[in-house]
Amino acid sequence: MIMNKIILIGGSPTAGKSYVARKIAESLKLPWISTDTIREQMRKIVREKDFPNLFTHSEATPEMAVEFLSKKSAKEIVKHQNDESLDVWKGVKALIETDYVWGNFIIEGVAVLPHLVKKLSVENKEIKVVFLVDDDIKRVRKTIFTRGLWDDADKYPDDVKEKEVEWVIEFNNYIIKESKKYGFPVVKIGDRKKYTGKIKELIQ
């Protein structure tokens, strides 16, 4: 029996998950979807009382986001993100477990976490996973100050961007530690051609 292949790409913001998913999808002629898209679709169809973490900031304004980032530590922001990811993962898991019309496909996003993937067991489907991190603080800072994480960078203060840099680095460290714990490959980004090629080797 030929098994369908599901490729999961996790990692922190700025690590190039969407870029890699798109390039691999083009190369292998596969559809791909982001966990951000899955989250937004879930918000339209599920009940808030069943998925509370999914709706914590669903109605947040830019001002509310600035206040949240200003008051929380990097560790607290990572925890918040991971709490939301627990709810998003329920939708990801349902998509993977369903005999979906796609067959083979790619899912990328911050909601792909090592401990969640480790628990995933699906008959007749091959799961390939890789996590991306960027430990170059200068590059992370340049990306955040140029484009921002959640909005245009010129729309919010520099001290908030610095907090984003802190939590991205904290999230990178978390992904590295958890991936090592559960035996998943981690790719540190650098030259895009080189790391995209390495990722293709890992998911073959």
Q: Out of 42-46, 82-86, 147-151, which region has the weakest mean confidence (pLDDT)?
A: 147-151
Whole-number percent of the chain with pLDDT over 70: 95
Tell me the pLDDT tens digit for each residue of 24-64: 899 889 999 999 999 999 999 999 999 999 998 877 777 88
d(CA 123, CA 162): 44
Structure tokens at 26: 């083009």
Judge whether residue 77 has pLDDT over 80.
yes
Q: Within 10 A of 97 (CB to CB), how many other CB atoms are there?
A: 14
Judge whether residue 1 has pLDDT over 50.
no
Domain containing 69: what range? 4-203
16-30, 105-119, 178-192: range with highest mean pLDDT: 105-119
On whether the CB atoms of residues 12 and 172 are closer than 8 A, the answer is yes
Structure tokens at 132: 């991306």
Number of domains present in the structure of the chain: 1
What is the strand order of the sheet 125-133 is part of?
Answer: 32-34, 105-108, 4-11, 125-133, 186-188
The predicted structure's pLDDT at residue 22? 92
Phi, psi of 139 (to 5 degrees): -70, -40
The predicted structure's pLDDT at residue 192? 59
Q: Out of 72-81, 108-117, 147-156, which region has the weakest mean confidence (pLDDT)?
A: 147-156
The predicted structure's pLDDT at residue 3? 65
The predicted structure's pLDDT at residue 108? 97
Judge whether residue 2 has pLDDT over 60.
no
Residues forming a β-bridge with 130: 9
The predicted structure's pLDDT at residue 150? 67
Arithmetic mean of pLDDT over the chain: 88
The predicted structure's pLDDT at residue 178? 97
> Taking the model in full, what pTM does it have?
0.91
pLDDT-derived band at 122, boundaries 50, 70, 90? confident
Of 159 and 190, the one with more pLDDT: 159
Give alpha helix (H) positions in the chain.
Answer: 17-28, 35-45, 62-71, 74-97, 114-118, 137-147, 158-182, 192-203
